[in-house]
Every structure is written in C-alpha cells, then in structure tokens.
Amino acid sequence: MTAFELLRRDAEYAWKELQGALEGVTEAQAWATLPHLGPDYLHTDASIFGITLHIAGGKWINGSVCFRDTEIRWHEIADQIEAFEPAWEPALDYLRRGHEYWMDSWSSLQDIEEIRPTNWKRGDLPAWQILQIINQHDSYHAGQITMLRYAIGESQDKPASVAEDIRTYCKDLKAW
C-alpha cells in the first residue's frame, strides 16, 4: 500500500466514524447546546448542528484552498449555509456534498510531499500533512458528537447562525 492509498483509506475510515456518530441524530438533538462556561471559542456554539457545519465548511474551504486554487471562498460558504440553516437534513446533505468535494479535490494528487497552500495561519504544508489533519479533524469531531448525543438531550430553540460565525471569524482570512 502506498502512502497516498493509506491517506485515502484513513480519510474513508474517519468519514465512517463521523457518519456513525451522526446516525440517528434528530434535529432537536442537533440543536441542543452545552452551556458556555469557558472563555475559549470552540469554532461552534457547542451543538451537533454547529459542529456538523464546522466540519462541512472545513471540507469545502480546504479542498478549495489546498487543492483547487481557491475556487470557493469563505463568504460563499457562509451564503450557502445561510440558505438552509437551521434545518438539519440540509445540513447533513451539505456535509455529505462537502466530503465528496474534499475527496475529489485531492484524488489526482501526484506528489504527497508537494507543498500546498492552506487556509491556516501556520502557512503552507506538504499535501500529506493537510490530508492527515483533515482525517484527524473528522475523527476528533466524531468523538465530540458522540459525547454530545448522550450529554445534552434535545432543544426546540434554533441554534446560533453558523453563517454569522463564519462572517465574524473568517472575514479577515485570505480566502474570504
């Protein structure tokens, strides 16, 4: 097995972990949030809905910036999310389409050592490291979602706008 094949296999495994964590989550569960007790910004409102769209947005922007010459920008992602939020099923569809875009964005990669642009402040990285980070990102958030499913119950209160979060926290990024 080549290193590229291993990274692809790891991406498929992490995606299955994430799908398993999301299986059966209802909209009311997705909307529920943990109380905000600390000073840190968690990239979400501490809801399954917010985490799901954080993952989806990351797949779209990283596929775009790292492997597709920034054909999609943050402001477009915010607009796309705003068109369906807070609906849960469209959020899951957006995640699924984002994952397909992500996987396709690097499917023809020839050199995993090639330095690629990133959306991150740490700068450009070898392609293999970008792939490894996104694979780990799926698994990390799958664990968060699994814990939230059993810790927070349900809510009829609509979650905070993820599109507004993106507009607030990503407006100064070069891929805005």
175 occurs within a structural domain: no
Average pLDDT of the chain?
Answer: 94
pLDDT at 41 (0 to 100)? 61
Q: Say yes or no to pLDDT of 42 above 70.
A: no
User: What total number of domains does the chain contain?
Assistant: 1
Domain range for 108 is: 3-33+44-169
H/E segment holding residue 143:
helix 127-151
Measured CA to CA, the distance from residue 71 to residue 5 in angstroms comes to 26
Q: Is there a domain that residue 64 lies in?
A: yes
Residue 52, domain CATH:
1.20.120.450
Overall pTM surpassing 0.85 (yes/no): yes
Alpha helix locations (H) across 68-126? Answer: 74-82, 88-105
For residue 111, being part of any structural domain is answered with yes
Residue 78 lies in a domain: yes
Does residue 176 belong to any structural domain of this protein?
no
Q: Is residue 38 part of a domain?
A: no
Q: Does residue 100 have a pLDDT over 90? A: yes
CA distance 99 to 22: 14
Q: Does 135 reside within a domain? A: yes
More confident residue, 29 or 122: 29
Does residue 174 lie in a domain region? Answer: no
Give the angle 44-57-101 at the CA atoms, nearest 5°. Answer: 155
The pLDDT of residue 46 is 87
